[in-house]
Amino acid sequence: MINMQKTYDLTENRRFVQHNVLRNTYWLLALSMVPTVFGAALGVALHLPLGGGLMALLFLAVAFGFIWGIEKNKDSGVGVALLLGFTFFMGLMLTPLLSRILGFSNGGFLIMTAFGGTAAVFAVLASVATVSKRDFSGLGTWLFAGVVILMLASIANIFLQIPALAIVMSVVAIAIFSAYILYDVQQIINGGETNYITATLALYLDVYNIFTNLLRLLGIFGGDRD
């Protein structure tokens, strides 16, 4: 009986920890949207020249620097500060895309549609990951390989400028990062991820990439110049 009670107590404690990590992750994810929106609004208002191939490579360098810093400080308040700084930077980097979309007469509608679509995808897939008995952990290796290929193709297309390839990459990116939501949320649920800062970073990147690629597709197929 004593061993059974200990097992029960350990199980309940693990569930409590996982619940706290998930709750804190969702709260920090919601908070991270504030500096993202502020950064995006500032970039568009100031017409910051953040486009071009060289800027894209600089973006990758700065982004990976932030990610490294967040991971190094994930157990302290510095990690939270770096995460919020990173989301502000990511908001700034939305400037070229948002400026292009706002050039359409229905640009505001397209942005809200992309935001609503991204929110719906996240809500549905996060719910599936929470209640599903299926194990999504096997997706990790394949999704990481897909991201690496996608990054290489994106860098190549900066110089190639092939419209059809850009469309294909956006569709693939939405599929990959949607699957990553299943993987990342279930990692928290199953105890594979116990740090809410790291978990927030992962989910933020999922949401950010879905939003940007969905907005690109909406701009291509639904942009109205009239």
% of residues, the chain, pLDDT over 70? 90
Which residue type occupies 183?
A: Y
* Predicted local distance difference test score (pLDDT) of residue 65: 95
CA distance 30 to 51: 27
- Please name the residues in contact with 135: beta carbons below 8 A apart, sequence gap of 6 or more: 186
* Predicted local distance difference test score (pLDDT) of residue 224: 79
Q: Answer yes or no: are the C-beta atoms of 114 and 215 closer than 8 Å.
A: yes
* Predicted local distance difference test score (pLDDT) of residue 151: 87
The pLDDT tens digits of the residues spanning 148-196 come to: 999 889 888 877 788 898 999 999 999 999 999 999 999 998 888 889 9
Please tell me the pTM assigned to this model.
0.90
